[in-house]
Structure 1
Amino acid sequence: MAADRSAPAELLAVEAFLNTLDERAYTHRGTRHAGGDQLTTPAALSAWLAREGLVPPGTRAGRDDLSVARDLRAALRASLAGRIEPPDEDAVAEANTTLGWFPLRLGLTPGGTPRLDPDGGGVLAEALGGIVAAVARAAARGSWNRLRMCAAPDCHWVFYDTSRSGGGRWCSMAVCGNRAKTRRYRERHADGEDGSAS
C-alpha cells in the first residue's frame, strides 16, 4: 500500500516516513506480505529523503543520521500504537527523549503568518526536523488524531482515517477489517455462541 493520498498535504511525508517500516505479515488473495524496512542503510535513508523531496538529490546520510531517523520513526509509531493499546511508560519516555533531539522555532512567512520550522542542524537534521514540525502542526490543527495505525497485529500499516467518526481501526475494511470480523466469527462459533450448542 502506498501513502493514503487523502491525508492532508502536511501529513503525506509523515505517513510515508512511518510506513518505511512495513510490519505486514499476512496473506491476502494468495499474496504474502512479508513486510520489511526501507531504512536499512544510510544510502537508503538518503534515497528515501530525496524521493520525498526532503533533501536535495545526492545528499549523503551517515550512520548517526540513520540511527536518529529510525529512532524518530519508532517514537512516532509508538505514539500511534498508544491509540491501539495502552502505551508502555518506558516507550513514552524513550519517545520523548528522541523527540527532544529536534528543536523547533517559530517564524513568520513573508505574509506574516506564524509557522513552525526545524531549528538548524544541517540538511539531514532539518529534513527529519521537518517531519517533527509537520507532526506538531498537524497536532495543533487536529489532523494528527486522524493518522492511525492499523489495529491488526499482523499489519500495523499507518493510514489516514477518513471515516466520519474518526475512529477507524483498520487500514482497509476489505482486508484487515474483514480478517478481524472473520476471526471473531470463527471464535464465537468455536465457543458455541451461535446458539446451537447445548
Structure 2
Amino acid sequence: MNAPVVDLEVVEQFLNTLDERTFSRHGEQHLRRDALTSPEDLSAWLDDRDLAGDPVRPADVTTARALRSALREALLGSEPALDRFPLRLVADPSGSLRVAAQTGVDGLDTLVETVAVSVASGRWSRLKLCASEDCRWAFYDTSRNGGGRWCSMEVCGNRHKTRTYRRARG
C-alpha cells in the first residue's frame, strides 16, 4: 500500500535532485549534478523521506529520472511525457475514493499522487522552476499573487536585474 500523499515540498526536493545550476556565487562554481544515478541513491533519497518500499532496482532509477524530467517539463510549460504515470481512482476500506498511481515504485507512486492532489487543489501552480537560464532550481512560490519568478530574489533575481541594467546602459 502506498504512503499517504506528502507535502508538495517533497516533490520540490525530488525535482531538485537534478541541480542544473551553472553560475558562480561568492567564488563557488555550481556544477550540474544528478543525485539519482544509482539504485542506492534513489533508495537513500526515498528512505530519508520515509517513502521507501520494496528494494530499488536499476529500472526504478530510470523511472524516477523520467518522472522528474516530465514534471520539470510541465513546470517549464512544455508538453510533459506523463503517459508513463497514469492515475486511477481506487476505493479504500472506509469506502472513500483516492487517486492511485502505479509506477512500480511505492515512493514514486506517492509523489505522483501528491502532484495529482496539488493540481486538483490549485497548489501545483505555485511550484515553479527559477526563470534564470543558469539556475532552474525548483521552488514553491510564496508571493502574494503567485507571480514569483526566481528561486531567490537576492541571487537569481538580483543577477537578472543587474544584467538588464547593464544592457540598458550599454
Q: Same fold (TM over 0.5)?
A: yes
Q: Which consecutive residues of structure 1, in runs of 5 or more, have no partner in the other structure?
A: 1-8, 191-198
Match of 1:117 in 2: 100
Is residue 136 of structure 1 aligned with residue 116 of structure 2? Answer: yes
Q: Deviations over 1:52-87 (max 9, x none)?
A: 11114xx532221111111111000001112xxxx3
Contact 1:43 1:60 in 2 (8 A): no
Q: Among 54, 58, 81, which residue is 2:76 paired with?
A: 81
Q: Among 151, 162, 173, which residue is 2:153 paired with?
A: 173
Match of 1:40 in 2: 37
Q: Which amino acid aligns with 2:26?
A: R
What number of residue pairs does the alignment pair up? 166
Distance 1:19 1:120 in 2: 20
Find the residue that maps to 1:153 and give its secondary structure.
Answer: coil
Match of 2:130 in 1: 150
Higher RCO (Cα < 8 Å, 6 or more apart): 2
Find the residue that maps to 1:181 and give its secondary structure.
Answer: helix
Distance 1:79 1:55 in 2: 25
Give the TM-score of the pair, scaled to structure 2: 0.88
Contact 1:23 1:157 in 2 (8 A): yes
Give the TM-score of the pair, scaled to structure 1: 0.76
Distance 1:14 1:108 in 2: 24
Q: In 2 relative to 1, CA 185–165 (structure 1 residues): closer, same or farther, beyond 3 Å?
A: same
Runs (4+) off by over 3 Å: 107-114
Identity score, percent:
49
Match of 2:59 in 1: 64
Match of 1:102 in 2: 85
